[in-house]
């Protein structure tokens, strides 16, 4: 397709981003061109926007940000057979090699040669995005695009919560940012026995409550370890979904996790965290690092959960803005007073 498009782009290193105009991406033989209907702001986008230490190392400018989206397929490469024009797609954001030992043994989500959309390639804060056909997830077009675009982070929550037994188990969700509140909703939807949400921001604790958390704890106001033990007959929780990356929160979680419990870790600490490994050994803890979504097991689980009607996505999406209002979205992410923020490239205001 010829022509230009509106984009939110990081033109050069430093804080912020700008609205710009770029050529509509060219489609390679194995790629598809998607007209973006909705795209949500991820923590990663905020990291890039605020130009933290990780972004400074990883991001090469100019770069169009964004990777969580849903849109209509408007052009396909000559080798494309599975995806059709007019399909409404989202994307698995890990572009993997497909050939290494990990890829061919069902562990493509940890492929060593992973490239990430909107991080290593141009992203979805734009009117159009080109992606490999292989990464396209074909959606049920009757589901609103703002629900479809959040499947990628929802997949992170599903992968974290469901990476071990969960039915009838108690779970602590540590950190209730967008993926944390999704984890609360997922844990309830799949019948965890008790969901304990731990978060310092009151707005987000309130969201966790609305999404069904049985207990909410603000560590600024309460002794977390004591309260979790009280809520679990002194035994501790079966499962911890660690979404915060916060050192003190992680250390506390290892104190209140039950003997033999599972710690699934998605949050990324910015520096090393001191842990008493000996106590973990004696407690028989299982620690599980969660990277992305299983390709494509997690996507089918997400699809099933959306179809079940048991997930209250409407509560998870707290703000709908036009693409031009991306700065307002970034401010919301900074304040923490939001769930998922969705941008619409074609919203008329
Ligand atoms: Zn994301
Ligand atoms: Zn690979």
Tell me the percentage of the chain whose pLDDT exceeds 90. 98
* Ligand 2 ion local residues (Cβ < 5 A): 96-97, 100, 103, 111
Paired sense of beta strands 128-132 and 215-217, if any: unpaired
Reading the block at residue 73, the tokens are 């397929």
- As a whole number, the mean pLDDT across the chain is 97
Overall average pLDDT of the 140-163 stretch: 97
Between the CA of 253 and the centroid of ligand 1 the distance, in Å, is 24
- pLDDT at position 179, please? 97
* Ligand 1 ion local residues (Cβ < 5 A): 42, 68, 153
Q: Which of 193, 213, 44 is nearest to 124 (CA)?
A: 44
Overall average pLDDT of the 229-253 stretch: 98
Q: Which of 321, 339, 313, 303 is nearest to 89 (CA)?
A: 303
Within 10 A of 229 (CB to CB), how many other CB atoms are there? 17
Between the CA of 163 and the centroid of ligand 2 the distance, in Å, is 21
196 burial class (0-12, 13-18, 19+ CB within 10 angstroms)? buried
**Active-site residue, selected from the candidate residues 39, 47, 109, 318:** 47
- pLDDT at position 270, please? 86
Q: Which ligand is nearest to the CA of 106?
A: 2
CA distance 345 to 58: 26
Return the H-helix or E-strand segment holding 38: strand 31-40
Between the CA of 280 and the centroid of ligand 1 the distance, in Å, is 31
Does the model's pTM come out above 0.95? yes
Between the CA of 8 and the centroid of ligand 1 the distance, in Å, is 16
For the stretch 255-288, pLDDT in tens is 999 999 999 999 999 899 999 999 999 999 999 9
For the stretch 31-59, pLDDT in tens is 999 999 999 999 999 999 999 999 999 99
pLDDT at 349 over 60: no
Strand blocks (E) in 271-324:
286-289, 317-322
pLDDT at 77 over 70: yes
Between the CA of 223 and the centroid of ligand 1 the distance, in Å, is 31
| 29 φ/ψ angles, rounded to the nearest 5 degrees | -60, -30
Between the CA of 22 and the centroid of ligand 2 the distance, in Å, is 31
**Active-site residue, selected from the candidate residues 44, 121, 160, 298:** 44
From first CA to last CA, the distance across the chain in angstroms is 26
pLDDT at 326 over 60: yes
- pLDDT at position 72, please? 98
- pLDDT at position 280, please? 94
Active site residue 93: no
Predicted confidence band at 166 (pLDDT cuts at 50, 70, 90)?
very high
Between the CA of 178 and the centroid of ligand 2 the distance, in Å, is 29
Q: Which ligand is nearest to the CA of 65?
A: 1
- pLDDT at position 244, please? 97
Active site residue 47: yes
pLDDT at 301 over 90: yes
Q: Any idea of the CA torsion for 272, 277, 280, 285, to the nearest 10 degrees? A: 60
Q: Which ligand is nearest to the CA of 113?
A: 2
Predicted confidence band at 139 (pLDDT cuts at 50, 70, 90)?
very high
Between the CA of 41 and the centroid of ligand 1 the distance, in Å, is 7
Q: Which ligand is nearest to the CA of 340?
A: 1
Overall average pLDDT of the 292-310 stretch: 96
Between the CA of 292 and the centroid of ligand 2 the distance, in Å, is 14
Q: Which ligand is nearest to the CA of 48?
A: 1
For the stretch 89-127, pLDDT in tens is 999 999 999 999 999 999 999 999 999 999 999 999 999
């Amino acid at each position: 397709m010829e022509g230009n498009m509106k984009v939110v782009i990081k033109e050069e290193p430093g804080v912020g981003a700008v609205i710009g105009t770029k050529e509509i991406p060219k489609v390679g033989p194995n790629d598809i061109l998607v007209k973006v209907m909705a795209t949500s702001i991820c923590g990663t986008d905020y990291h890039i926007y605020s130009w933290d230490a990780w972004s400074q190392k990883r991001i090469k400018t100019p770069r169009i940000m964004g990777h969580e989206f849903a849109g209509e397929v408007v052009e396909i490469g000559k080798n494309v057979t599975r995806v059709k024009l007019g399909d409404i797609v989202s994307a698995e954001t890990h572009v993997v090699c497909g050939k290494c030992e990990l890829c061919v043994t069902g562990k493509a989500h940890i492929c060593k040669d992973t490239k990430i959309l909107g991080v290593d390639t141009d992203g979805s804060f734009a009117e159009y995005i080109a992606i490999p056909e292989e990464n396209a997830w074909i959606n049920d077009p009757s589901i609103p695009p703002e629900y479809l675009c959040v499947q990628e982070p929802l997949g992170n929550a599903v992968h974290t919560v469901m990476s071990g037994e969960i039915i009838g188990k108690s779970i602590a969700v540590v950190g209730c940012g967008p993926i944390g509140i999704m984890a609360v909703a997922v844990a309830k939807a799949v019948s965890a026995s008790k969901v304990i949400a731990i978060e310092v921001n009151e707005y987000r604790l309130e969201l966790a409550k609305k999404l069904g958390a049985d207990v909410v704890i603000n560590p600024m106001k309460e002794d977390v370890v004591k309260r979790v033990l009280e809520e679990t007959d002194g035994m501790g929780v079966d499962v911890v979904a660690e979404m915060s990356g916060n050192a003190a929160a992680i250390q506390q979680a290892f104190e209140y996790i039950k003997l033999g419990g599972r710690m699934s870790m998605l949050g990324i600490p910015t520096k090393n965290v001191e842990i008493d490994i000996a106590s973990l050994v004696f407690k028989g803890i299982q620690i599980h690092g969660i990277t992305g979504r299983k390709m494509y097991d997690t996507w089918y689980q997400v699809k099933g959960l959306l179809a079940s009607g048991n997930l209250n996505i409407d509560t998870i999406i707290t703000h709908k803005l036009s693409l031009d209002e991306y700065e307002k979205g970034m401010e919301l992410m900074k304040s923490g007073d939001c769930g998922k923020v969705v941008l619409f490239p074609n919203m008329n205001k």
